Structure 1
Amino acid sequence: MRPLRYAINVTIDGCCHHEAGVAPDAESMRFWVTEVGRADALLFGRVTYEMMQSAWRRPGTGVWPDWMKEWEIPFAETIDTAKKYVVSSALDGVDWNAELLRGDLADAVRRLKEGSGEGLFVGGVTLPLALADLGLIDEYVFIVQPVLAGHGPTLLAGLRDRIALELVDRHEFRSGAMAVRYRPVLVAG
């Protein structure tokens, strides 16, 4: 069974808006290249899919835009070519190596997890909350940014039940950010 990993940048006070933390640098982008590269497929809700597509889809010319730094290109290439599943009732269709995931969310994600491979990656805010509530996330990966945002969407706000986690890995970046990897602890009850 493939594990489902939720990974996101988050500020110390829990904000997970993509512009609230420290701007990406070469070191953090290498981390994300590895993290996304460990997945057989990416799972996005509509908002995250559209945001990622607008930033990281290879232009029709085949040439990455001038604003993109050389150290961002490996991430762009990794996410551009990755298989994607999009959970949305608002979209009629998707492209960018993606397909819509329809029907019951729990059943659809369980079917994806039953496949063989390295794992699945989910990003964003709303979809991961639903997946956490369903008990479908096998690993949580957060890059905790050394910033207090004071506002914005917060990590897993509205989670139905408490989820106990155990730390399985951590890595400190030169920027002061810290990548932490947790797995849910099965609580006998």
Structure 2
Amino acid sequence: MRKLIMKMSLSVDGFVGGPNGEKDWVFKSSDEQSLAWLLGHTREAGLIIMGSKSFQTIAPYWPTAAHPLAAPMNEIPKAVFTKKGYAGINLPNPEKSPAIASWNEARIFNGDLAETIRKLKAEPGKPVVAIAGGGFMRSLIATGLIDEYVLVTHPVILGSGEPIFTSLPKPLDLKLTDVKAFPKGIVVRTYQPA
């Protein structure tokens, strides 16, 4: 059985986005070492999962991006979760670009989230890594199926914004398994359910 890993960027005060969904603060504190860690962590994924809003936002960017993270983002299979139905996204000329084809061929799931996650975890392969989308992450946390929480804390206090650890039916006890700190202030904490 493969692991389900949630990777999420947070402000020091625990928000994943600003009051209007701003995420520009995530890139201000990156450095060569944190980027190398992110690249290595991303390459460990066998499947990248996200909600449909995040997918629609980032899918057009990655196929032509010059960012070092573009290669794994375009190569690793993706799955999209939606509650309202989703027809996918049609980026132009997939036959001319394997990167575009990888986004157009994302698996779409609109059934019971917990049941689908159990099935994905039962598939062979490298870990399932959840990225992006506060609403999707809150739903994923509520399933109780996350094996590892990778919380990337950026050196910024937003004051208000979008949290992900809200509306839990009971406290979620975690065990700290790893901490990494980077020169410009990013701290990565990895937790597993206690």
User: TM-score, length-normalised on structure 1?
Assistant: 0.84
Q: How does 1:126-137 map to 2 (within 5 A)?
A: 126-137=135-146
Between 6-15 and 150-159, the greater mean CA deviation after superposition: 150-159
For residue 9 of structure 2, what is the aligned residue in structure 1?
9
Task: Tell me how far apart the structure 1 counterparts of residues 13 and 74 of structure 2 sit (CA, whole Å).
Answer: 31
The 8 Å contact of residues 177 and 190 in structure 2, kept in 1 or not, is answered as: yes
The 8 Å contact of residues 21 and 146 in structure 1, kept in 2 or not, is answered as: no
Deviation at 1:22, TM superposition (A): 5.0
For residue 47 of structure 1, what is the aligned residue in structure 2?
53
Deviation at 1:94, TM superposition (A): 4.1
For residue 156 of structure 1, what is the aligned residue in structure 2?
165
**Secondary structure, counterpart of 1:133 in structure 2:** helix
For residue 184 of structure 1, what is the aligned residue in structure 2?
193
Count, aligned residues: 173
**Secondary structure, counterpart of 1:151 in structure 2:** coil
The 8 Å contact of residues 139 and 183 in structure 1, kept in 2 or not, is answered as: yes
Label 1:150 to 1:180 Cα distance change in 2 as closer, same or farther (>3 A).
same
Task: Tell me how far apart the structure 2 counterparts of residues 86 and 11 of structure 1 sit (CA, whole Å).
Answer: 25
Task: Tell me how far apart the structure 2 counterparts of residues 94 and 147 of structure 1 sit (CA, whole Å).
Answer: 33
Kindly report the root-mean-square deviation, in angstroms, between the aligned alpha carbons of the 2 structures: 1.7
The 8 Å contact of residues 135 and 164 in structure 2, kept in 1 or not, is answered as: no
For residues 145-175 of structure 1, the C-alpha deviation after alignment (integer angstroms, 9 at most, x for no partner) is 1111112112323233211001000111001
Q: 2:79 aligns with which of 75, 81, 85?
A: 85
For residue 167 of structure 1, what is the aligned residue in structure 2?
176
Task: Tell me how far apart the structure 2 counterparts of residues 29 and 113 of structure 1 sit (CA, whole Å).
Answer: 27
The answer on 1:105 being equivalent to 2:106 is no
Deviation at 1:129, TM superposition (A): 1.3
Label 1:94 to 1:21 Cα distance change in 2 as closer, same or farther (>3 A).
closer
For residue 96 of structure 2, what is the aligned residue in structure 1?
none
* The structure with more helix, counted as a fraction of residues: 2
For residue 36 of structure 2, what is the aligned residue in structure 1?
30
The 8 Å contact of residues 56 and 89 in structure 2, kept in 1 or not, is answered as: no
Label 1:83 to 1:22 Cα distance change in 2 as closer, same or farther (>3 A).
closer
Label 1:172 to 1:132 Cα distance change in 2 as closer, same or farther (>3 A).
same
The 8 Å contact of residues 171 and 178 in structure 1, kept in 2 or not, is answered as: yes
